[in-house]
Structure 1
């Protein structure tokens, strides 16, 4: 299956004029660097107390603003201050009018990927290894002002067995933010996974109650990641209520009337916030 990204020292230009580069010496992850300093490091945030309804998506972006829009199911569109557009778990039919510069995919089922993406997409990143099934795939891609990498996890097959390294947690580092999409996560993470992931300021988490992981296991994962902003996705039925009920008062919870949120390092909530965007 095609992966339209450049390898080694090659460089190409995408549909929006963005430069795509996957070099022999990839960019160092700022999210991992900070995480490796734990437990000595202390986070400093210059923040208001909440961001949900106070910061709807606006057409005007500051140089530090990242706009995250819920498109549907597990697809979010992430628009960076530099004008790069990234779509997560892209299936081709849940999309906005803009052709993304980069799309990520996972293969749990067909609503998380497409084998015929729009040819105008600059980079298509599969969360599984086409060339060597069962082996981890490694992405380290710089596109404009965004650095995109992944952490491989296992995936449960329809028969109930596990396929090694069939899913990826994709991490987008932009404007000082560490943004993670858990994909179709089917098992609790190990210490090694948490070390690879590093710090996540924003995390997109499936809340289907069992198609991925049960609410209790998923809530444990979120509590350990301790992200400032938690964006539920992949909802099935009323499961969102049981998911929210797993968290105590150390988390704020908000139902937003907006499909998206504008966020920066300055505006991250001081207290972890579970923000349910409109449409979820």
Structure 2
């Protein structure tokens, strides 16, 4: 067996063994199956797993994850186990039911609220409330494992300069899927970021064309991640077309008839698909 394949096999076995030996939720230590291989092979690009057919109903129950675009950069993520997650929660765009988990980022007030509903059990900041420290999210809620990868942000409103670790890429590991929300990403990712992220099968990406990054810079990030399903968000004016124009024949593009999509490990597109949900178009 070639050395690189042996490393892959060992990393996979270690991750699955650790997960299998875990006990009850409050007793187990979270283990990232999306990141385990990346830690052993730095500077590699991880293609996501692909299913047998694009965007068809799951073959069996208990493996589907539903994504609903609520507005701006807020998605509702519904897990097979009934956990409801809202990304970049600002209190304006809300799921129909009370979310169990909300994530937030600090770049603009449209991405967070300091007065969330007290009934929300888990409010996860993408920034640290302690100056000079990074946010550190490592949490299991039902059938979802949630972690973060901090990134820097520019100061708002043209003040110049940047703030270290003011944004987080939140990663949700659900039903075997590796799901990433890039938040208010201002700078292209480093090799260290990609290693920490690992594999992403589904990624939610801002396509505003400038408030975060230009279409060319953001497209380079997405090409490097090479996720199976790319869900644009955070659109202003026409940049969704500008973003899409950066991709060639290696990516498919489709406009959705509604604001949600349900996907599983078995139904991921074979070829990377940029899927523009209703409300983003």
TM-score (norm 1): 0.85
Task: State the Cα deviation string for residues 254-280 of structure 1 (Å, max 9, x = none).
Answer: 000110000000000010000000001
Would you say 1:45 and 2:50 are equivalent positions? yes
Residue in 2 aligned with 1:147? 145
- Aligned residue among 123, 130, 133 for 2:131: 133
Q: 1:93 and 2:96 equivalent?
A: no
1:236-251 aligned at under 5 Å gives the runs 236-251=236-251
Name 1:13's counterpart in structure 2.
Answer: none
Q: Is it true that 1:274 corresponds to 2:267 in the alignment? A: no
Aligned partner of residue 243 in structure 2, secondary structure = helix
Map of 2:37 onto structure 1? 34
- Residue 195 (1) aligns with residue 200 (2): no
Alignment of 1:208-219 (within 5 A): 208-219=208-219
Alpha-carbon shift at residue 106 of structure 1 (Å): 0.3
Displacement of 1:207: 0.2
- Aligned twin of 1:7: none
Aligned residues: 252
Gaps of 5+ in 1: 1-18
- Deviation of residue 93 (structure 1)? 1.2
**1:213–1:118 CA distance, 2 compared to 1 (3 A):** same
- The 2-side partners of 1:79 and 1:205 are apart by 18
CA distance in 2, matches of 1:70, 1:252: 20
Tell me which protein shows more helix as a share of its residues: 2
1:182 aligns with 2:185: no
Equivalent pair of 1:103/1:124 in contact (CA under 8 Å): yes
Does the CA contact (< 8 Å) of 1:134 and 1:163 recur in 2? no
CA distance in 2, matches of 1:222, 1:137: 24
Distance 2:110 2:267 in 1: 32
Deviation at 1:87, TM superposition (A): 0.4
Give the C-alpha shift of residue 46 in structure 1. Answer: 3.0
Q: Rate the CA distance shift 1:116–1:254 in 2: closer, same or farther, 3 A.
A: same
CA distance in 2 between partners of 1:134 and 1:77 (Å):
31
Deviation of 1:95 after TM superposition, in Å, equals 0.9
* TM-aligned CA deviation for residue 208 of structure 1: 0.4
Distance (whole Å) between structure 2 residues aligned to residue 270 and residue 85 of structure 1: 27
Are 1:114 and 2:113 matched, yes or no?
Answer: yes
Q: CA RMSD in A?
A: 2.1
Task: State the Cα deviation string for residues 149-184 of structure 1 (Å, max 9, x = none).
Answer: 000000100212110000000000010000000000
8 Å CA contact 2:189, 2:221 repeated in 1? yes
Aligned counterpart, 1:229: 229
Contact 1:26 1:140 in 2 (8 A): no
Deviation at 1:44, TM superposition (A): 5.3
**C-alpha displacement at 1:37, in angstroms?**
5.5
Look up the match of 2:75. Answer: 76
1:107 to partner: Cα distance: 1.1
Say which SS state the counterpart of residue 220 (structure 1) adopts.
helix
Secondary structure at the residue paired with 1:30? Answer: coil
For structure 2, the residue ranges without an aligned partner over 5 or more in a row are 1-23
Q: CA deviation at 1:218?
A: 0.2
